[in-house]
């Protein structure tokens, strides 16, 4: 039995949730959440590391105890420690933890005071106004719970890109072990780099002697077979996600890939253009009457209706067809355009690697620079830096830079924006930094007006450079806080500030709509990873995918520039 990274990560998440509900030491809870994050961010399957007898304690945040637990999960498929805690705490309470505003204490209170065990009971109690009467809740929390239940039900049907990516790569590796397999590509919302994915559509070309369906059905993670045929096979995996394998002939490959990549509204727009040109366009090809005239490539499909190729990330029917017709399609940013990362953390606060280790990983990616932006003192759980600590780190980085050739470590901080709009550190230390990344980390429940004024006031500080994860959302977990994002973008333009597109998969904040708005208002974006370990630097690919969905080009993004140009852009006028 093969246990993938997502399964290990999910078990650690469950451990953390149940321990939090039980009232366990916060640092122990945090250790499991850190381990989950580390495993989910690995580029290599943890089962392969174990098979190669790799030392798991070298992974960020993984000690001997957690390494032993990972080994147990991979070799047995379960964790005895989780089995034990499930005897003490009802595991059905875990689904509460997906509701914004419900931490372990509140979940425990709902269970003990109202006997609530599932979302349906929770919703009934909220609608009957039983929750607001409990100590520590109130009407506002009750309303938030109702909103959170709806979001949890919507989100529960979709998985985030890293998990979808891991599953897709496993299926593709499995298929490619069979002879006669030609092209294999994942279509659908995955190819369009949507933030979450409902299912996976995989296109395959193969020789006549290749039994694609038979090979696919031997994949070890299949829970249930929905249908099987020569051209289409559909299954549900153990993770709950549906996977469709579609075998298409070479002559129809482009048409099928276009059709199953979508989006539906984009495809309808292309088909309408085809009708005007006297053509019929479907997954089998482009037809003039009964004669197929093309369809082997996507380029042919677009050319048949007088359009240039449209990148998958743009296919959302948000003006891309008109732009293509008028020669105004953006030249989208590529991952290879990125020259550095302006938001990263180290073991001096809540990261899991030293400055030197982060620098080594960034250099290995071919970067020219990396900003070290550990947390400021207000964020106590991260062991944020006091001013004296930051001054010591500035001196450490200065000494390190003297030893480096062709690479520069930028001195930075991720400083909290306080409720009144001030920054968590004084100007006297901020002015010594190369980059100041500013974030809202608390008081998410302010009104739209107050939250907007809070951030705009912070931007008034002459040392404010980058607004990190501007809406504070966590995909599938926490909605954006209320803020006038258009006013924030306008304020950034007026003050010479930069907005971050945070690449961490749970954030991807800004979203694609906000990226496009910033582009239209000529406000620069910094695509950063918010890395807390060396492996997190790989998250840049998710940020670039989001940027492409937001129509961003190389010149819209500051960390596609050389170090000297970045320094100029960071200087407030």
> Would you list the domain boundaries of the chain?
5-155, 159-247, 252-325, 335-570
pLDDT at 458: 98
pLDDT along the chain (573 residues), means of 10: 77 89 85 85 79 84 90 88 88 76 82 82 88 85 81 72 91 90 95 94 88 92 90 90 94 96 96 96 95 96 98 97 97 98 94 93 97 90 87 97 97 97 96 97 93 98 97 86 96 97 95 97 97 93 98 98 96 81
pLDDT digits (tens, 9 = 90+) for 451-498: 999 999 999 999 999 999 999 998 877 889 999 999 999 999 999 999
pLDDT at 2: 64
CA 79: distance to chain centroid?
27
Which residue carries 């170090």 as its tokens? 563
pLDDT digits (tens, 9 = 90+) for 171-187: 999 999 888 899 999 99
Give the Å distances, CA to CA, from 182 to 167, 296, 311.
20, 14, 22
pLDDT at 156: 59
CATH among 3.50.50.60, 3.30.70.1400, 3.40.1190.20, 3.20.20.140 for 335-570: 3.20.20.140
Which structure tokens are listed for 352? 């899991």
> Rounded CA gap, 544 and 496, in Å?
23
Classify burial at 264, counting beta carbons within 10 Å of its beta carbon; exposed 0-12, middle 13-18, buried 19 or more: exposed
pTM, two decimal places: 0.84
Which structure tokens are listed for 464? 């404010």
> Rounded CA gap, 68 and 62, in Å?
10
Third-level CATH fold of 252-325: Beta Polymerase; domain 3 (3.30.210)
For 299-316, b where at least 16 C-beta lie within 10 A, e where not — what string? ebbbebbebeebbbbbbb
- Contact residues for 240 (Cβ-Cβ < 8 A; gap 6+): 223
pLDDT digits (tens, 9 = 90+) for 243-260: 999 999 999 999 999 999
Which DSSP state fits 521? Answer: T
Which structure tokens are listed for 437? 């990344």
Classify burial at 158, counting beta carbons within 10 Å of its beta carbon; exposed 0-12, middle 13-18, buried 19 or more: middle
The phi, psi pair for 225, rounded to 5°, reads: -95, 120
pLDDT at 235: 95
Third-level CATH fold of 5-155: DNA polymerase; domain 1 (1.10.150)
pLDDT at 101: 67
- Indicate the Cα dihedral angle 365, 338, 479, 137, nearest 10°: 50
The phi, psi pair for 192, rounded to 5°, reads: -80, -5
pLDDT digits (tens, 9 = 90+) for 124-181: 988 999 988 888 888 888 888 887 777 777 665 688 898 899 899 999 999 998 888 9
E runs forming strands in 390-482 = 408-416, 435-439, 466-467
pLDDT at 154: 64
Q: Is 492 left (phi over 0), alpha (psi -120 to 50) or beta?
A: alpha
The phi, psi pair for 133, rounded to 5°, reads: -85, -10
Strands 408-416 and 435-439: parallel
| CATH no., domain 159-247 | 3.30.460.10
> Rounded CA gap, 404 and 271, in Å?
56
């Amino acid at each position: 039995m093969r246990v993938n990274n997502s399964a290990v990560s999910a078990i650690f998440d469950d451990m953390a949730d149940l321990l939090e509900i039980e009232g366990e030491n916060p640092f122990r809870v945090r250790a499991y959440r850190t381990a989950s994050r580390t495993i989910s961010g690995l580029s290599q399957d943890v089962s392969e590391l174990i098979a190669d007898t790799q030392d798991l304690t070298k992974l960020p945040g993984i000690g001997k105890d957690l390494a032993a637990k990972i080994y147990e999960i991979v070799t047995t498929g379960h964790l005895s420690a989780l089995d034990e805690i499930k005897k003490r705490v009802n595991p059905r309470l875990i689904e509460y933890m997906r509701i914004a505003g419900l931490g372990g204490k509140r979940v425990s209170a709902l269970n003990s005071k109202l006997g609530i065990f599932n979302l349906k009971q929770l919703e009934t109690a909220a609608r009957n106004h039983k929750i607001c009467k409990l100590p520590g809740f109130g009407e506002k929390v009750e309303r938030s719970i109702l909103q959170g239940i709806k979001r949890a039900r919507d989100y529960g049907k979709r998985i985030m890109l890293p998990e979808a990516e891991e599953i897709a790569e496993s299926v593709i590796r499995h298929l490619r072990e069979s002879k006669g397999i030609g092209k294999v590509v994942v279509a659908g919302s995955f190819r369009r780099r949507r933030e979450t994915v409902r299912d996976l559509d995989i296109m395959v070309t193969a020789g006549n002697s290749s039994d694609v369906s038979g090979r696919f059905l031997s994949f070890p993670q299949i829970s249930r077979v929905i249908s099987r045929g020569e051209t289409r096979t559909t299954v549900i995996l153990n993770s709950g996600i549906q996977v469709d394998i579609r075998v298409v002939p070479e002559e129809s490959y482009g048409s099928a890939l276009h059709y199953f990549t979508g989006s539906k509204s984009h495809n309808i727009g292309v088909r309408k253009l085809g009708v005007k040109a006297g053509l019929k366009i479907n997954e089998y090809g482009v037809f003039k009457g009964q004669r197929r005239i093309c369809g082997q490539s996507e380029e042919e499909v677009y050319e048949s209706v007088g359009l240039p190729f449209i990148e998958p990330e743009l296919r959302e029917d948000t003006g891309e067809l008109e732009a293509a017709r008028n020669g105004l399609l953006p030249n989208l940013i590529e991952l290879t355009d990125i020259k550095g990362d302006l938001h990263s953390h180290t073991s001096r606060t809540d990261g899991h690697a030293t400055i030197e280790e982060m620098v080594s990983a960034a250099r290995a990616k071919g970067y020219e620079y990396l900003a070290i932006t550990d947390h400021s003192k207000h964020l106590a759980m991260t062991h944020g830096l006091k001013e004296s600590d930051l001054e010591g780190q500035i001196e450490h980085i200065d000494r390190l830079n003297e030893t480096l050739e062709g690479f520069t470590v930028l001195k930075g901080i991720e400083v909290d924006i306080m409720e009144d709009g001030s920054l968590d550190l004084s100007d006297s230390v901020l002015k010594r930094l190369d980059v100041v990344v500013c974030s809202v980390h608390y008081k998410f429940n302010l009104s739209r007006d107050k939250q907007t004024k809070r951030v705009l006031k912070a931007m008034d500080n002459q040392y404010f450079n980058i607004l990190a994860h501007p809406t504070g959302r966590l995909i599938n977990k926490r909605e954006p806080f209320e803020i006038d994002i258009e006013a924030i973008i306008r304020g950034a333009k007026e003050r010479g500030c930069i907005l971050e597109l945070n690449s961490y998969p749970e954030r991807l904040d800004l979203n694609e709509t906000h990226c496009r708005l910033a582009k239209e208002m000529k406000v620069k974006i910094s695509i950063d990873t918010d890395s807390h370990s060396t492996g997190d630097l790989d998250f840049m690919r998710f940020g670039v995918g989001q940027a492409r969905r937001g129509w961003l080009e190389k010149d819209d993004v500051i960390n596609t520039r050389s170090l000297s140009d970045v320094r100029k852009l960071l200087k407030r006028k």
